[in-house]
Amino acid sequence: MRELYVELGYEGQLAAWLTVSFSLYILASQLAWQFQWGLAGGHSDLDQPKRQEGMGRWIDHVRDQPFAPWMRGSIRFIYYLGIPFLAATSGAIGADLAGIRGTDWVQGKSIQGFLREDWARGLGLAAAALLAMWGVWLISRSLSRHARLTPLPLRLPGPTWQRLLDALYDQIHWAFYRSGPILWLNDPYWGVFAGLALVLLEAALNPAHWWAFKDPKTAAPALTQLGIAWISALLFLETHNLWLTIAVHLVLVGPLGWKRPQPAQESAGA
């Protein structure tokens, strides 16, 4: 098996790891939807599909156990960080493909392998991306209120620490999926968009995402995630800096995603 893996070469080895990651995601999302009503949460009780007998009751029992959150957290950690780490340590993926150039935080005129001029340009682009997404949200909120529709909230569900951890998971996962097309096509431009297409295909095959769009309350996180994926792809295309994409994502779901107090009349009309 080891000899066969070596014979695949770098491109084949990375394809094998991406196939494993993609297949595990699709399998897990389908099982979650069938037996756990999806992992996205927040669906209307009236619209949820009926839980299957036998296995469904067993899943209910497991989810009620004190160790269930730790088990889910461990599975997510192994999937989102473990698979890319194993692919990297096996030599299937280079750090440069993922947007990592150096290990020393500051070395001469570079920070993490990027020149200070690169950081200045990248931070400017990151600030522009943040302002653009914030502006789009403000416009959509204003249009929603004008049309007397419930505006989509900017704040994502869950505690802040969970949103920040999910942002880290997503960015590493997306960088992992970008690395394959960039290597195979030998073209960063088309490779980035091919990686984004792979991410979108993965999400499209998750039935929980489709179900989320049926309710404005659950559609907001899905739409926000979609917007962040696009912004991350465009920012990476211009900077090839994974650290910047992570920072932008953390700001979007962290400080900009904190719930702000609203006047009583605004809350009542929302």
What's residue 5's pLDDT? 65
The domain in which residue 109 lies consists of: 2-269
What's residue 43's pLDDT? 39
Count of structural domains, the chain: 1
Structure tokens at 153: 């909230």
pTM: 0.79
What's residue 26's pLDDT? 93
Torsion angle of the four alpha carbons 171, 176, 179, 180, in this order, in degrees rounded to the nearest 10: -140
> Among residues of the chain, what percentage have pLDDT more than 70?
70
CA distance 119 to 149: 41
pLDDT in tens, 153-204: 556 667 778 888 999 999 999 999 999 999 999 999 999 999 999 999 999 9
pLDDT in tens, 129-159: 888 877 877 777 777 676 665 655 556 667 7
114-115 vs 110-111, strand pairing mode = antiparallel
**Nearest Cα to Cα of residue 196 among 222, 229, 244, 163:** 229
What's residue 34's pLDDT? 67
Give the other-Cβ count within 10 Å of 109's Cβ.
Answer: 9
CA distance 252 to 244: 12
* Sign of the CA dihedral running 20, 26, 27, 32: positive
